Amino acid sequence: MIKNIKDIYRILGKYKWYYIFSTIILLVSIIARALEPKVLQVAVDNVIGKYITGNKITESKNNDVVSRFFDYLLPKLNESNFGEILLLLGIIYMVISLLRSLFLFISSAIKHHSTQSTIFRLRNKMFNHIQHLPLSFFSTISKGELMQRCTGDVDTIKDFIDQQIINFLRLSATFIFSFIMMYFIHPNYAFYSVCLAPFIFVLSYYFFKKEIAVWEEHEKEADKLNSMVQENLNGIRVVAAFSNQEYEIERFKKQNKAKMKMGVKQAKLQAYFWPLTDLICNIQLVISVIIGGYFTLQGDISVGELLGFNSYLGMVTMPMRHLGRILSRMGIALVAMERISEIIEKPLEEDLGEIKTGKLSGKIEFRNVSFTYDGKQNVLEDVSFIIPSASQVAIIGESGSGKSTIIKLLLRFYEPTHGKILIDDIPIQKYNKSFLRAQIGSTFQKAFLFSSTIQQNINYTKMDAMEYEIDAAAAVAQAIEMKDKFNKGFNTLVGERGVTLSGGQKQRVALARTILVNPTIIVLDDTTSAVDTITEKRILNELDNSLKGKTAIIIANRIASIQKASWIIVLDKGKVAQQGSQKDLLKNSVFYQSIQDIQSHLEEEIQLEIAN
Ligand SMILES: Nc1ncnc2c1ncn2[C@@H]1O[C@H](COP(=O)(O)OP(=O)(O)OP(=O)(O)O)[C@@H](O)[C@H]1O
Ligand SMILES: [Mg+2]
């Protein structure tokens, strides 16, 4: 808990001084506000009252600064002209009001500016951090939960620092100020007047702890609800296709109820707690009034002092009354801070690789590589192969045999549990991650496009690419036809705000993106699975030219896709079952033979069609 308080203090940065400054200005404004009734009082008692009764303007009996100021000022004025005196008082009142509003404005402007700036920096920090987290982290947290932390929790912190920091400082200052004033009137009486404060502190702390526990649960339920909505929207077509809307609605309702229950629990806590503190504060007031009466009767304090004391009494109990409310908001903010810290304190992706420059030849070696995602079951087991530079190698194998995992290890999304991966005979850990990834152009199995134009999706890997370069890459990927197909050509928006591309179109745009970087090693993970066989053939022919001199790893289960490969690795349940040339495999690999048999007919038909 202390750590979370420190964290909130830390995220305020230099703005903590701004909050203090804003509070001081606010206090000045409050003092100005306190002066206003005094001016009214002088106007009524010393001016209008005297005018009505025909008396002379007299000195007031009060001894405060404002009264003394008027006692000095009023006799200097021409008494016969009451109108002018009243006007002067009106102007003084106006000036005080204006100053009060001005201070209030400055105070809240500083406060809001500080809050917005703090939250702006916090959001940037979170996003920056998330961008550099190891990819394995994202399989431990759902996107919905991550979104909730980046939005809901950040907003909670925002509300807290915007509303409560100044509130806390203001109330603390009021408490201390009033107590000191009371102390000067009568020290013992002052202590009696806050004798129940320790009870309020203890009680507030007790509820504060309870509130934290309930809010933690509340946020967990909110995470689940968010994830559910996110997943539902992602799969809305599946829901509709299977007419499962009612089921989804029920599921949502249940989760929504779980969250609501926690909300109600929290509201109940406050409903018990706040009246209880109010009650204690009222008892405190009664005690003070009785003791005050006693002291007055004893002659320890005068009636005037009792009256003065009473007004401070209200000021001293008010912060006690509000303490619980502030702590309640603080409890919620601390939970939010904890959840945010869990992200911004996650260690960033380690990168000890020193090799940052140079030209790779593209030789790849897997040496006895084993890997497990969950620490229990090996997804890859003792995988060894060598891919000479500038060669084309295919990896085939049943679904789930570990093909994509090999690529993830090559890109260092994960580290092997055993064994070594080498590029140009150097372990890949020695390469700087960004450098390594820049050398390997990969298209992933599931083509992902951003909600921007086709062109922006292609040149995502090379923002300064010239149009002819983009066109050339698109031509190889057979994506160039989209230029004519859509009215706005490559400026067509895709994704949520634009047109939805077909699976094959997406794959081709993603492939163009990879080709554009012109990497040393190119990896195509099932890149053409959604493309029709004729277009695929064209892509492969074009690729064959542009892949010259590059190392290519092609993962596919279509014989046509891997025909140009000089070496084929057959994976079976995470192990290398066979590897060799097409010829070798035709002799030795049952898996290769079976897909060859099934697909060879189809292949002949395609050849014929292309020839025509
Ligand atoms: N992020 C992950 N966390 C845990 N297990 C995973 C993860 N990704 C893949 N796996 C598991 O690892 C195994 C190999 O997956 P991989 O994606 O490498 O298969 P694949 O050969 O590419 O299959 P496909 O041909 O269907 O793409 C599978 O059993 C899969 O369930
Ligand atoms: Mg795969």
Determine the Cα–Cα distance for residues 4 and 187; give it in Å rounded to an integer. Answer: 37
Determine the Cα–Cα distance for residues 466 and 80; give it in Å rounded to an integer. Answer: 88
Chain centroid to Cα 346, Å, comes to: 14
Determine the Cα–Cα distance for residues 408 and 411; give it in Å rounded to an integer. Answer: 5
Q: Where do the domains of the chain lie, and which CATH numbers do they carry? A: 2-344 (1.20.1560.10), 364-611 (3.40.50.300)
Tell me the CA–centroid distance for residue 536 and ligand 1, in Å.
24
Could you read off the pLDDT of 267-300 as tens digits, one per residue? 999 898 889 999 999 999 999 999 999 999 998 8
Exposure on the CB side of residue 229, measured as CA atoms within 13 A: 12
Whether residue 533 has pLDDT greater than 70: yes
CB 136 less than 6 A from any atom of ligand 1: no
Cβ contact 196:280 at 8 Å? yes
Angle (deg, nearest 10), helices 15-42 and 2-12: 80
- Select from 520, 571, 526, 588 the least CA-distant residue to 549: 520
HEC states along 55-91? CCCCCCCCCCHHHHHHHHHHHHCCCCCHHHHHHHHHH
Q: Which residue pairs from 407-410 have beta carbons closer than 8 angstroms and sit at least 24 positions apart in sequence? A: 407/442, 407/523, 407/525, 407/553, 407/555, 409/369, 409/371, 409/380, 410/364, 410/440, 410/523, 410/553
Whether residue 58 has pLDDT greater than 60: no
- Given CA atoms 83, 85, 88, 90 in this order, what sign does their dihedral have? negative
CB 148 less than 6 A from any atom of ligand 1: no
β-sheet bridge partners, residue 523: 442, 553
Exposure on the CB side of residue 15, measured as CA atoms within 13 A: 24
Tell me the CA–centroid distance for residue 546 and ligand 1, in Å.
30
> In Å, what is the CA distance from 539 to each residue of 128, 395, 601?
37, 18, 20
Query: Looking at the CA of 399, which ligand is closest?
Result: 1
78-87, 141-150, 161-170, 332-341, range with the lowest pLDDT: 78-87
Rg (CA), the chain: 38
Whether residue 87 has pLDDT greater than 80: yes
Task: Let me know the angle formed at the C-alpha of 445 by 480 and 482, rounded to the nearest 5 degrees.
Answer: 15
Could you read off the pLDDT of 545-579 as tens digits, one per residue? 888 888 999 998 777 778 788 899 999 999 998 89
Backbone dihedral angles phi then psi of residue 372, each to the nearest 5 degrees: -135, 140
Tell me the CA–centroid distance for residue 379 and ligand 1, in Å.
8
What pLDDT score does 536 carry?
A: 84
- Given CA atoms 381, 384, 389, 394 in this order, what sign does their dihedral have? negative
State the average pLDDT over residues 486-512: 87
Q: Which residue from 371, 401, 446, 528 has its CB within 8 A of the most atoms of ligand 1, so it is best to mutate?
A: 401
- Given CA atoms 536, 538, 540, 543 in this order, what sign does their dihedral have? negative
pLDDT band at 610 (very low <50, low <70, confident <90, very high): low
Determine the Cα–Cα distance for residues 362 and 383; give it in Å rounded to an integer. Answer: 19
Q: Which residue from 136, 376, 379, 444 has its CB within 8 A of the most atoms of ligand 1, so it is best to mutate?
A: 379
CB 392 less than 6 A from any atom of ligand 1: no
What pLDDT score does 131 carry?
A: 92
CB 156 less than 6 A from any atom of ligand 1: no
What pLDDT score does 59 carry?
A: 56
Tell me the CA–centroid distance for residue 587 and ligand 2, in Å.
26
Integer distance in angstroms from the first to the last C-alpha of the chain?
75
Tell me the CA–centroid distance for residue 604 and ligand 1, in Å.
32
Tell me the CA–centroid distance for residue 556 and ligand 1, in Å.
15
> In Å, what is the CA distance from 489 to each residue of 450, 455, 495, 511?
17, 9, 15, 18
Backbone dihedral angles phi then psi of residue 67, each to the nearest 5 degrees: -60, -40
Nearest CA to ligand 1 atom 26: 399
Could you read off the pLDDT of 88-98 as tens digits, one per residue? 888 988 999 99
Tell me the CA–centroid distance for residue 406 and ligand 2, in Å.
9
Nearest CA to ligand 1 atom 16: 402
Q: Which residue pairs from 39-45 have beta carbons closer than 8 angstroms and sit at least 24 positions apart in sequence? A: 39/66, 39/89, 39/92, 39/93, 39/96, 40/93, 42/66, 42/67, 42/70, 42/74, 42/89, 43/86, 43/89, 43/90, 43/93
Determine the Cα–Cα distance for residues 76 and 88; give it in Å rounded to an integer. Answer: 13
Whether residue 496 has pLDDT greater than 80: no
Nearest CA to ligand 1 atom 29: 400
CB 399 less than 6 A from any atom of ligand 1: yes
Q: Which DSSP string corresponds to 107-123?
A: HHHHHHHHHHHHHHHHH
Backbone dihedral angles phi then psi of residue 375, each to the nearest 5 degrees: 80, 0
Nearest CA to ligand 1 atom 2: 373
- Select from 66, 15, 301, 62 the least CA-distant residue to 183: 301
3-class DSSP assignment, residue 420:
strand
Could you read off the pLDDT of 309-328 as tens digits, one per residue? 888 888 888 898 888 889 88
State the average pLDDT over residues 505-512: 93
Determine the Cα–Cα distance for residues 27 and 306; give it in Å rounded to an integer. Answer: 25
388-397, 442-451, 526-535, range with the lowest pLDDT: 526-535
Q: Which residues contact 476 (CB under 8 A, 6 or more apart)?
A: 511, 512, 515, 539, 542, 543, 545, 546
State the pairing for strand pair 575-580/567-572: antiparallel
The pTM score is: 0.81
CB 403 less than 6 A from any atom of ligand 1: yes
**In this structure, what token pair is assigned to residue 539?**
């892509």
Q: Which residues contact 580 (CB under 8 A, 6 or more apart)?
A: 567, 568, 588
CB 400 less than 6 A from any atom of ligand 1: yes
Nearest CA to ligand 1 atom 27: 399
CB 408 less than 6 A from any atom of ligand 1: no
Environment class of 22 (CB within 10 Å of its CB; exposed 0-12, middle 13-18, buried 19+): buried
Give the atom of ligand 1 at the shortest distance from the alpha carbon of 402: 18
pLDDT band at 117 (very low <50, low <70, confident <90, very high): very high
Nearest CA to ligand 1 atom 9: 405
3-class DSSP assignment, residue 243:
coil
Environment class of 114 (CB within 10 Å of its CB; exposed 0-12, middle 13-18, buried 19+): buried
Chain centroid to Cα 132, Å, comes to: 14
46-60, 81-95, 435-449, range with greatest mean pLDDT: 435-449
CB 551 less than 6 A from any atom of ligand 1: no
β-sheet bridge partners, residue 571: 397, 576
Q: What residue has token string 């409903």?
A: 271
pLDDT band at 612 (very low <50, low <70, confident <90, very high): low
Could you read off the pLDDT of 226-258 as tens digits, one per residue? 999 999 998 998 999 999 999 999 999 999 999
CB 402 less than 6 A from any atom of ligand 1: yes
Cβ contact 474:512 at 8 Å? yes
CB 405 less than 6 A from any atom of ligand 1: yes
